[in-house]
Amino acid sequence: MPIDPLFRFYQPSDRAACLDLFDANRPRFFAPNERTDYEAFLETAPGIYEVCLVDEGVAGAFGVYPENGGGFRLRWILLSPRVQRQGVGSAVMNHAVHRVRSHGGGTLFIGASNLSAPFFARFGARVQAAILHGWGLGMHRVDMTLHVD
C-alpha cells in the first residue's frame, strides 16, 4: 500500500528537518560539497519550496520554481530514506506536475543525477545532457526535461 503524503509550504522552522533529510541522503545521493548549497537555498525557500508530511512529520521536500527564460525547475527533491520506494516520490512528482499545469503548463527542468535519472524517466522526463562528476566526484549530473501540457 503506497504512502499518501500531505503537502504544505516550507517554513523557516522546517530548516533542521530538511537538513536532516539531506544528511540522511549523503553521501549516497548527494555529494558532500552540496550541503552548503542546500543551506543557502533554504534561506530563500519560504513561499515556494514545499515539504511532504508523513505521520505529521517532515518526510520529504521539493520545489517547483519559475525558470529564467521560461518554464519551471524542480529543485532539491529529497525524501527520508525511511519512506523511499513506497510511493512518496511518485506523489511528489504528481504534485509537481500539477503545480506546473496550474501555471499553464510548460517544460519542467530537472537537474538529476545518474542515480535518480531512472526515477524521473518513469514520469516521461528525457535526458538532454550529462556531465561526468557534475555534482561532485562520482556524482554525475543528468539534465532532464519533462513536458507538461
Ligand X SMILES: CC(C)(COP(=O)(O)OP(=O)(O)OC[C@H]1O[C@@H](n2cnc3c(N)ncnc32)[C@H](O)[C@@H]1OP(=O)(O)O)[C@@H](O)C(=O)NCCC(=O)NCCS
Least separation in angstroms between residue 110's CB and ligand X is: 7
Nearer to ligand X, 40 or 104 (CB): 40
Contacts with ligand X by CB under 6 A lie at 25, 29, 77-79, 84-90, 112-113, 115-116, 118-119, 122
Least separation in angstroms between residue 81's CB and ligand X is: 8
Query: What sign does the dihedral 21-29-122-70 (CA atoms) show?
Result: positive
* 3-class DSSP assignment, residue 54: strand
Nearer to ligand X, 78 or 148 (CB): 78
Nearer to ligand X, 19 or 115 (CB): 115
* 3-class DSSP assignment, residue 131: strand
Least separation in angstroms between residue 121's CB and ligand X is: 8
The grid coordinates listed for 99 are 503545480
Q: Classify strands 126-136 and 106-113 as parallel, antiparallel or unpaired.
A: unpaired
Q: From CA 7, how far away is CA 54, in angstroms rounded?
A: 9
Least separation in angstroms between residue 62's CB and ligand X is: 8
Residues sharing a CB contact under 8 Å with residue 138, sequence separation 6 or more, in sequence order: 31
The 10 Å CB-count burial string (b at 16+, else e) for 91-108 is bbbeebbebbeeeeebeb
Nearer to ligand X, 24 or 48 (CB): 24
Nearer to ligand X, 7 or 119 (CB): 119
Least separation in angstroms between residue 112's CB and ligand X is: 4
